[in-house]
Amino acid sequence: MTVLVFLDPAHPAGRLVDAATPSLLATDQGVTRGDGIFESLLAVDGTPRKIQAHLERLAGSARTMDLVIPAAELWQAAITTAVTAFSASVALASAPAADAPAQCVVKLVVTRGPEGANTPTAWVQVSAISPALAEQRAKGLDVLLLERGYDSGISARAPWLLLGAKTLSYAVNMAALRHAHEQGADDVIFTSGDDLVLEGPTSSVLLAHISDDSGVPVKRLITPHLDTGILPGTTQGALFAAAKEAGWELGYGPVTPADLLDADAVWLISSLRLLAPVNTIDGKEIGTAAIRAELSEELSALLATTL
Amino acid sequence: MTVLVFLDPAHPAGRLVDAATPSLLATDQGVTRGDGIFESLLAVDGTPRKIQAHLERLAGSARTMDLVIPAAELWQAAITTAVTAFSASVALASAPAADAPAQCVVKLVVTRGPEGANTPTAWVQVSAISPALAEQRAKGLDVLLLERGYDSGISARAPWLLLGAKTLSYAVNMAALRHAHEQGADDVIFTSGDDLVLEGPTSSVLLAHISDDSGVPVKRLITPHLDTGILPGTTQGALFAAAKEAGWELGYGPVTPADLLDADAVWLISSLRLLAPVNTIDGKEIGTAAIRAELSEELSALLATTL
């Protein structure tokens, strides 16, 4: 079941439409040019999580794209309309499971609009969360390193490459995932032309190093630096804040593939899948199953406090 | 005026729909992921040009994208339906201009279809040709060199980057054009990380060298090699065949930015704009106005024989 709410000046709370009926013009530049931006976020028990961080990142993507998008209040109102409609339809369709929080996926999309008109098309889509994501958290992932093709320094000098913006032009991200699946892997970590670790096609990369050289264990959580042109991870940011409170040291790249292989644990982290441990990279095991499980449990508990 | 014809198993000649009414689901992966491919071609007096070359390139893009698309006959039938409907509506709207051939733009689009369904969505769009294109041919272009970010050798080793496929994920191409316009330029020529000339965001690059060292003039037409991951230009291909017949020597890159600046003339060439001379690159004039005009006239006449 999918709920769609369009942002529409004539409907301040958003315009609810039937998701099974066409609602986009075929001339919309979102489809003819992949010319638009998006965010995906999690809602738990009817409440969207990290909404401020997602709206800020959407606004950042819009600036990079020279795209004028609806104000935050209009997104908030449309999200409320959409999540409420989704919750109502789920409640109608099934008895509520008393012990499990109801989770759903909230997607915000805005395009440059129909060719010639250049008035943005904006909508909120709410749908059920894929059971595959919980499975990724439980079982972990086999990951391939794949070249993203860009040097880590290009972002600052070539703004037209739109690095760090979450655009609708995701064909390469999807192709990288298909390539991994064909090779029997589950996901991808992109590397730069100068061999630094970047991000996954739909996730940020984290690694942990545990040391106790002086008899006092030091736990360090590391993610690649944003200067490499990667997307700022909203879930990585939330986890870093919680981990710092809990006594973890934080580090920001550069991260090399060798750093990943030497880590005690590596994760792909994103708003929907949350924290999924990486079991192997290019067939090489990361840490041990016991350490991965232990650290994943600790960090997932910290992340849960932020949801 | 825009005519839309969807490819539809229930309608072998295509299903004509109202272009002003929404016809795409908001969950179509063409818009949510820029996950699809396209072609743009010219129709003159109701006849689509180089249709075989465009359908072959569409099929090539589909292979690169692991996308199963409708057969060539179905595209042909839908194109005929769309061009016929467009011509009829133009004839109704205005008296035919006796001296000018009627040109229109035919766009073929196919996406991976709605999320979850994975049945491609395919359509043909026919619309009027922009008067700006004829102006580009007449006045020429001021062009910026912009980094595309990829090394020229990456295409072969990283197929997931989809180089050489004409995907709907065109946000970077559009951003590069916006960047050029902000700088007062008209268009862009992309260069590789290792500083080779690639292509324009919506065109191929050509250059001409004229020499007469031995008293016999030698005219040489050069374009970057496809190994660099650029799109094979259907119009460049047609012009090369005609120029060869007319006694031109043909060359295929590598082409450097210095080669462009040293050329007697440089053009951006594509199916809709045809051959547009480049007046300046990064503010430096290419050849002279007289030579650019003379060579453009000669090659445009050759290209016209292929239309």
Q: What is the pLDDT of residue B128?
A: 94
d(CA B144, CA B282): 5
**Cβ count within 10 A of residue A66:** 12
Most distant CA atoms of chain B, gap in Å: 67
Residue B98 has pLDDT above 70, yes or no: no
Asked if the C-beta of B131 comes within 8 angstroms of chain A's C-beta atoms, the answer is no
Q: Taking a C-beta distance cutoff of 8 angstroms, is the pair A122, A259 a contact?
A: no
Judge contact between A32 and B38, C-beta under 8 A.
Answer: yes
pLDDT tens, B55-88?
Answer: 999 999 999 999 999 999 999 999 999 999 999 9
C-alpha to C-alpha distance for A200 and A188, rounded to whole angstroms: 5
CATH of the domain at A160: 3.20.10.10
Query: How many angstroms separate the Cα of B275 from the Cα of each of B137, B140, B172?
Result: 6, 9, 23
Domain that holds residue A215: 135-304
Residues A98 and A28 in one domain: yes
Predicted local distance difference test score (pLDDT) of residue B120: 97
Q: Give yes or no for B174 touching A (CB within 8 A).
A: yes
Distance from CA of A107 to the nearest CA of B (A): 10
Residues A46 and A119 in one domain: yes
SS3 content of chain A, % helix, strand, coil (to 5): 35, 30, 35
Say whether residue B167 is in contact with chain A using an 8 A CB cutoff. yes
Q: What is the pLDDT of residues A195-243, one digit of tens each?
A: 999 999 999 999 999 998 778 889 999 999 999 999 999 999 999 999 9
- Which pLDDT does position A96 carry in this prediction? 55
Collect all residues of chain B within an 8 Å Cβ-Cβ radius of residue A20: 25
CA distance A66 to B178: 9
pLDDT-derived band at A91 (thresholds 50, 70, 90) equals: confident
Closest chain B residue to A124, measured at CA: B26
Does A150 lie at the interface with B, CB-CB under 8 angstroms?
yes
Taking the Cβ of residue A20 and every Cβ of chain B, the question of whether any pair is shorter than 8 Å is answered with: yes
Which of A31, A173, A181 should one mutate to test binding to chain B, selecting the residue with the greatest count of B CBs within 10 A?
A31
> Is residue B35 a contact partner of residue B168, using CB atoms and an 8 Å limit?
yes
In whole angstroms, give the CA distance from residue A102 to residue B141: 57
According to DSSP, the residues that pair with A39 across neighbouring strands are A108
Residue A133 binned pLDDT confidence (cut-offs 50, 70, 90):
very high
* Shared-domain flag, residues A167 and A297: yes
Phi, psi of B109 (to 5 degrees): -130, 135
- Domain boundary pick from B129, B159, B190: B129
Q: What is the DSSP letter of A75?
A: H
Please write the tens of the pLDDT for every residue from A141-198: 999 999 999 999 999 999 999 999 999 999 999 999 999 999 999 999 999 999 999 9
Nearest to A110 by CA among B301, B78, B32: B32
Non-local (6+) Cβ contacts of A201 within 8 A are: A170, A172, A173, A174, A176, A177, A187, A188, A190
> Across chain B, what does the average pLDDT equal?
94
**Tally of domains in chain B:** 2
Percent of chain A clearing pLDDT 70 (strictly above): 97
Domain endpoint, select from A109, A129, A149? A129
**Mean pLDDT score of chain A:** 94
Compute the average pLDDT of residues B296-307: 94
DSSP H or E segment with residue B236: helix B234-245
Q: Does B32 touch chain A (CB under 8 A)?
A: yes
Task: Verify that A156 and A173 share a domain, yes or no.
Answer: yes
With beta carbons less than 8 A apart as the criterion, state whether B44 and B307 touch: yes
Tokens 């109704």 found at: B92
Shared domain check, A145 and A124: no
Identify whether residues B191 and B297 lie together within a single domain.
yes
The answer, yes or no, to whether residue B92 has pLDDT greater than 80, is no
Indicate which CATH number applies to the domain containing B116: 3.30.470.10
A105 shares its domain with A66:
yes
Q: Is residue B84 domain-shared with residue B8, that is, in the same domain?
A: yes
ipTM greater than 0.85, yes or no?
Answer: yes
pLDDT of residue A101: 65
Instruction: Look at the block and give the residue holding tokens 């050069």.
Output: B222
Rounded CA separation A106/B217 (Å) = 66
Question: From the candidates A33, A169, A178, A202, which should be mutated to test the interface with B, based on the most B CB atoms within 10 A?
Answer: A169
Report pLDDT digits (tens) over B178-194: 999 999 999 999 999 99
Q: Which residues of A259-287 are buried (b: 16+ CB within 10 A; e: fewer)?
A: bbbebbbbbbbbbbbbbbbbbbbeeeebb
pLDDT tens readout for residues A52-70: 999 999 999 999 999 999 9
Together in a domain, B215 and B124: no
Q: Quick one: A220 and A72 in the same domain?
A: no
Q: Does B156 touch chain A (CB under 8 A)?
A: no
Rounded CA-CA distance A236/A268 in Å is: 9
Cα B260 to Cα B267: distance, rounded to the nearest angstrom: 10
The answer to whether residues A139 and A277 belong to one domain is yes
Cα–Cα distance for residue pair B35/B50, rounded to 1 Å: 25
Beta carbons of B31 and A31 less than 8 Å apart: yes
Quick one: B283 and B261 in the same domain? yes
Residue ending a domain, choose from B79, B94, B129: B129
Residue type, B301: A
The continuous run of DSSP H or E covering B53 comes out as helix B51-64
Give the angle A279-A280-A282 at the CA atoms, nearest 5°.
Answer: 165
- A:B CB pairs within 8 Å: 179
Q: What single-letter DSSP state applies at residue A65? A: T
